[in-house]
Chains A and B, each alone.
Chain A
Amino acid sequence: MDNEAITSDQEPQPTAAARRPILQRIFIRKGIWASLVVPVLSVFTAFIIGGVIIAASNTAVLAAWGNIFTAPLEALRITFKTVYDAYLALFQGAFGQPAELSAALRTWRETGQTQALWAALRPLGESLVISTPYIYAGLSVAFGMRGGLFNIGAEGQLFVGGLASAYVGYAVKGLPWIVHMPLAILAGLAAGALWGAIPGLLKAKTGAHEVINTIMMNYVAFRLTDYLLTGPMARPDRLPITPQVLPSAYIPTIFPPPVRFHWGFFLALGAAALMYWFLWKTTRGMEIRMTGQNQDAARYAGVRIAVITVLTMAVAGALAGMSGTNQILAVDHQLVRAFSTGYGFDSIALALLGNSHPLGVVLSSLLFGFLRGGAARMQSVAGTPVEIIRIIQGMVIIFVAAPAIIRSLYRLKTPREEDTLLSRGLTS
């Protein structure tokens, strides 16, 4: 693509890459191929390294390698079997077991019994349940990044979103579902938006960096949660848990229990689609992307940067708030202190992996959801500690953030402009 553009009359110039701040260069790559190849190879490589770690941390494998000289094939066999078993368990934990599913389908068709079917679908449903808050939170960070803002505050926004929707969920009584649930969602969105807009406003008015202030807002949100759970929002028995959200505010599940898979997942896909439409098909979206890519040019073009900054942070906050709202209204139905297992922080990694593109965020959220969903089974069946999953996730992020590793590993061509940039930087 580049090649054609550089027609006969020019030398390569350090351009786009040179002008964009480093964070954005990491989070937003150019071109469809560039944005696919590295993440896919990163995931692949992370799994290979994960396999090595699985093998190396398994006592049976280590014992077999102790006898490498007497039984070399046995050592290799055990190694591969261990890794295979672990990943098989991970896969089955994440997606369910094909055999079980087909058996359940047969039972259903022959007897009309659905219980086994739901049981077989449960792992897949669970993975998607885990993916859902990831999607919202990942979209939040990605949205900010498209507007040139680094939203580290997704976790805090998620908490206040959860708090607001939980409150509306249990305190507002007597409304029909069709009113109550949207109202609770709206409350979560508004709280998240407010939490995001504050650092946005500070940035727009005073230039205070959003990274610092979103981090600070996280702490405020955590302590606010602590306070509310021990006082105003605590259960009647004073346990630091909110009262149960009324069923009229539930985001409903799709299948009967034990499958917890719920409509929130499709809402999340809807949010991703909406974000795509907003950013790429509307004038406001163009202003946000313009500001994100080149604030000076956006000002030159008549965009009001302050407005865009606040708007971007508010929307990012609302998305993260929705992540918490989703957990409260669709999964937990009450809010406990540790109701988020770091979705907000993982979301930074998701935006990175997903190239800050809605579709990319959805895909990387699915990946993280499946990894986490399958981890429990991997531990119980194959005896591989769940922490392996964290290692794999971490590896993926490292490789995506430092694409040079992947490029040299797989002998990929380095984008030329980065090259020139480096060489110019070295000149002295």
Chain B
Amino acid sequence: MPPVLELRDITKRFPGVLANDHINLTLNEGEILALLGENGAGKTTLMNVLYGLYTPDEGEIIIRGEKVEIHNPNDAIEHGIGMVHQHFMLVPVFTVTENVMLGVESVKNGIFLDRKTAAERIREISQRFGLRVDPHAVVENLPVGVQQRVEIIKVLYREADILIFDEPTAVLTPQEVEELFKVFRSLVEQGKSLIFITHKLNEVLAIADRIMVLRNGRVAGITTPEEATRESLASMMVGRDVILEVEKPPARLGELVLEVRDLVVQDDRHLVAVKGVSFEVRAGEILGIAGVQGNGQTELVEALTGLRPVVSGSITILGQDVTNAEPRQVIELGSAHVPEDRQKDGLVLTFSVADNLVLNTYYQMPFARGINLDHQAIERAATERVQQFDVRTPSIFIPVANLSGGNQQKVIVAREFSRPIRLLIASQPTRGLDVGSIEYIHSQIIQKRNDGCAVVLVSPELDEIMSLSDRIAVMFEGRFLAVLPAEEATRERLGLLMAGIQEPMPV
């Protein structure tokens, strides 16, 4: 029997980039193929070619032994290919049923939507594949994990039997990931074939039947979980040996840098998002704040950095009260902020690399003399920092938008870390970055800690929290459920806390 899907010599060029260079891929029936690679390795491009969003410059697509042409997503769906996107494509105010039927609406009497039949089918699909979901629930009220199930149902509703999952675990708790993997298995048992795009090594080893690693638009290798290790996969992805474990000397605690008391903060909809959080961070330690996204971490960080008003409680940095202070006052106290969304908050994408490197110091000596900017000084500093922090850019004058995500993050890190800082607040500092960049940024954070900086690290990635932190707080629905010394924090314990399950008091 021919494989379900075969890609032969797929080549896709963008101006100046060879995104896919003669890639061959085979997907067998009932198989989970993991597509592993760093950002920019060409995974997404390849899948967009398969899904009809890009037309390949060369190569052919063969489905069940037949050569096909896929020009748009409709063609792809026609051929039984479905894609579960990383960013959900759901209408928040619609119900599950309405979202699923959107685009393939069943109709009665010619013009009226037939929600009932659709809901019926959704129920049937959800039972068959173990995708528990209420067809009549409104999507915006559903947790992320359930929204993802809706996305999967959408694809199954369109009768896809080749399912592409684009970084599906990025937004899930460890428990939700387990759930998803169960769904994966039941899908495969019922004859579906899956392509699972990711850059998380543990997951690949846990679920995949075969692993294909892409690097720089080429196939770097094909292997199986039995043969591969985390280290071998990482070096295949990056093209060199990678140190996955961060080495850090024991913490040398210094003075009290950040003190937060009973902090209450509202979110954009004026709902209380941070519900009375208190903690301290001392010089020379990293406090990791774990938690599923959307549990108040964003609001907490914004309050700490002066970006969001504090309703009640207090924030003190180095003995100075900065409750409801202007961001600039917080910055000038020696606080650095690596924001959660680098493109929204951390950079002005249309500004040059050089300008972004002085985004919050442009008005100080030596970058300004009176009201005049000293462009020479700015450029000198930029050249220096680009070198020191290994930012890969052809020039300091090009817009930072033209840099890859990893290099954009390095620009932020270079800017924030090259100031004399006492407090570092890093929110998801490695989100969406490749292994190489993660390794680099982690080492920089540890370096700052060793130099006596107090660090608050917010991240939904347990691996990151566990490998960097000295103490770990778990945030759930606006509260700290626990603050544990790193030695006492196990994955299981943190995972349960992240899901809001308080363990019984230790005896």
Contacts and interface: CB of A to CB of B under 8 A. Distances in A.
Given A10-B17, A301-B359, A282 B42 contact: no
A293 B348 contact: yes
B112 interface: no
Contact of A281 (B83, B331, B373): B373
A294 interface: yes
A37 B335 CA distance: 45
A11 B44 contact: yes
A256 B183 CA distance: 88
Contacts of B349: 15-16, 19, 293-294
A300 interface: yes
A296 interface: yes
A428 B402 contact: no
Nearest to A3: B16
Given A12-B17, A427-B73, A30 B343 contact: no
A11 B19 contact: yes
Which bracket fits the contact residues of A? 35 or more
Nearest to B45: A11
Count chain B CB atoms within 10 A of each CB in A281, A296, A298, A416 and give the residue with the most: A296
B499 interface: no
Interface stretch (A67-75, A247-255, A283-291, A309-317): A283-291
Contact of B371 (A5, A11, A12, A284): A284
Interface stretch (B200-208, B242-250, B253-261, B390-398): B390-398
Interface in B316-374: 326-328, 331, 337, 339, 343-351, 355, 359-360, 362-363, 368, 371-373
Contacts of B348: 290, 293-294, 297-298
A281 B89 contact: no
Contacts of A7: 392, 394, 404
Nearest to A284: B371
A15 B327 contact: no
Interface string A16-39: 100110000000101000000000
Given A2-B402, A5-B394, A282-B373, A11 B40 contact: yes
B138 interface: no
A237 interface: no
Contact of B15 (A19, A283, A294, A416): A416
A7 B359 CA distance: 25
A427 B102 CA distance: 13
Q: Which of B53, B359, B405 has the most CB of A within 10 A?
A: B359
A16 B401 contact: yes
Contacts of A281: 372-373, 375
B16 A4 contact: yes
Interface string A166-193: 0000000000000000000000000000
A416 B327 CA distance: 36
Nearest to B342: A297
Contacts of A11: 14, 17, 19, 39-40, 42, 44-45
Interface in B88-135: 89, 102-103
Nearest to A7: B392
A6 interface: yes
A341 to B, nearest CB: 35
B380 interface: no
A293 B345 contact: no
A16 B401 CA distance: 6
Interface in B151-195: none
A115 interface: no
A10 B40 contact: yes
Contacts of A205: none
B325 to A, nearest CB: 11
Contact of B368 (A19, A283, A294, A416): A283
B85 interface: yes
A1 B398 contact: yes
B6 interface: no
Given A11-B45, A300-B327, A302-B327, A5 B403 contact: yes
24 contacts: A1-B398, A3-B15, A8-B216, A9-B392, A9-B404, A11-B19, A11-B45, A15-B343, A15-B349, A19-B343, A19-B344, A20-B350, A30-B399, A283-B362, A286-B355, A290-B351, A294-B347, A294-B350, A297-B344, A297-B347, A301-B331, A413-B15, A417-B401, A427-B89
Interface of B: 14-19, 38-42, 44-45, 48, 51, 53-54, 73, 83, 85, 89, 102-103, 216-217, 305, 307, 326-328, 331, 337, 339, 343-351, 355, 359-360, 362-363, 368, 371-373, 375, 392-394, 398-399, 401-406, 434
Q: Ordered nearest first, which 3 A-B pairs have the shortest CB separation?
A: A3-B16, A302-B328, A10-B40
Interface of A: 1-13, 15-16, 19-20, 28, 30, 281-286, 289-290, 293-294, 296-304, 413, 416-417, 423, 426-428
